[in-house]
Structure 1
Amino acid sequence: MVSFANLLAFSLISLGIVCSPGPNMIYLISRSITQGRAAGIISLLGVMLGFVIYLFATLVGLASLFNAVPFIYELVKWAGVAYLLWLAWNSFHSKTSILTPQTLSVEPPKKLFLMGFMTNLLNPKIAILYVSLLPQFQDPAQGSLLLQGAALGLTQLIISFIVNLFIVLTASTISTWFSTRPTWQKIQRWFMGSVLTGLAGHLAFERVGK
């Protein structure tokens, strides 16, 4: 089973990533403001299906891979560190706010679900999240890698759903509040960049196969 320390660290990284700039957040905010909360929730369900598909593909492929080639742990660890630093760099240097909504056309529920699904499925950030980060927190000494990956993935799904649901329900308020407070936008970017940088440093010194 996943250790509490690994679960906590992975939860913090998942929280940092879901709160960082990306297509999912932009789409959900824009859709919720344009068409209302119900449309935002339907879109969010499509986004979550994309997460589930990525997670399933990762678990099926990586469980066997890491059992056969433990050295791959080192490779994915440094890929994960590089990814977190890239997110931090983007957060520090971003000149625009992800909380500024885009104008979208009104769509039926079926298309809303599909658009949310495709927005997430075509988001490279999600693929990198599962492929390079999730395996770092799987320890062969703790039991089945498949079960550990499932527990970590479920944790990420829950965190993503809660954060994105909050975004959908408060999209208009959040967008209005931040649009009139540029200082808070800057604080948000620098805080998130600092958190991601710290997590990258922590992961860099993690020993694989503890």
Structure 2
Amino acid sequence: MIDPNTAFIFITASVLLALAPGPDNIFVLTQSMLQGAAAGLLVTLGLCTGLLVHTTAVAFGVAVIFQTSAFAFTLLKLMGAAYLLYLSWQAFRAGKNAGGNGDKPHLTGRSLYRRGIIMNITNPKVSIFFLAFLPQFADPGAGSLSGQLIVLGLLFIASALLVFGCISLLAGRLGRWFKQSEHAEKVLNRIAGTVFAGLALKLALTER
């Protein structure tokens, strides 16, 4: 059982961490501006689903593999970097087609949700972060450690869902303003493409 005071401190820390600029909230921001608030919310749900995977990995010790195995860590981060580069290429391509006769890529809700999941689970730093962060708030004398870690993970996910949801709504409104101008829409897509490429480079250069 998680002590209420501990839970309050943990939720406060989780909200602050979710607000701090990082790959996940930047990803939500760019997707919301490009595709709209609803798209950002679907990406957020995907990211939070990915956090469920990381929570489970930490609770059952799987995250230790990424902390101790250089090969597993490198393989997963390169997969994530490759996916981000693919999204960067898509954004630049959309920027060229904006306002023109070319077909703009249409993303289904399932595609957006999948983007969020892939973005999150291919970042091994998330598992390692959870492995370092969650146990600090768990008490071995208060019951099952795995159970406490799962509860803490769910509280973190709820905090991220709230913060990222607000980012989606605000960025979606800003994106609508950009799309009123053909030139601004092209610039927005190019900015997004640059951000994705930057995130890919950052992830590829990440060390354990």
TM-score, scaled to structure 2? 0.59
Q: Residue 58 of structure 1 contacts residue 130 of structure 1 at CA under 8 Å; is this kept in 2?
A: yes
Q: Does 1:162 align with 2:159?
A: no
1:12 offset after TM fit, Å? 2.0
Deviations 1:73-113 (A, max 9, x none): xxxxxxxxxxxxxxxxxxxxxxxxxxxxx877642322211
Give me the whole-angstrom Cα distance separating, in 1, the residues matched to 2:150 and 2:3. 13
Find the aligned partners of 2:9 and 2:111 in 1 and give their Cα distance. 36
User: Which segments of 5 or more consecutive residues in structure 2 lack a partner in the other structure?
Assistant: 65-90, 95-104, 178-208
Q: CA deviation at 1:146?
A: 1.9
After superposition, the CA RMSD in angstroms is: 2.4
Match of 1:127 in 2: 127
Specify the alignment match of 2:37 in structure 1.
37
Once the two structures are TM-superposed, the CA of residue 172 in structure 1 deviates from its matched residue by: 4.4
Residue pair 2:37, 2:172 contacting (<8 A) in 1 also: no
Give the distance between the partners of 1:173 and 1:37, measured in 2 at CA: 7
Matched, 1:146 2:157: no
Distance 1:174 1:148 in 2: 39
Q: Percent identity?
A: 30
Measured against aligned partners, the alpha-carbon deviations of 1:11-58 in whole angstroms (never above 9, x if no partner) come to: 122112111111111111111111112211221111111000000111
Q: SS in structure 2 opposite 1:107?
A: coil
Structure 1: unaligned runs, 5 residues or longer:
66-101, 177-210
Alpha-carbon distance in structure 2 between the residues aligned to 1:10 and 1:47: 20
Q: Would you say the 8 A contact 1:34–1:106 is kept in 2?
A: no
SS in 2 for 1:61: coil
Q: Deviations over 1:150-175 (max 9, x none)?
A: 22111111111111111111114578
Q: How many residues align?
A: 138
TM-score normalised by length of structure 1: 0.58
Q: Secondary structure at the match of 2:156?
A: helix
CA distance in 2, matches of 1:168, 1:122: 22
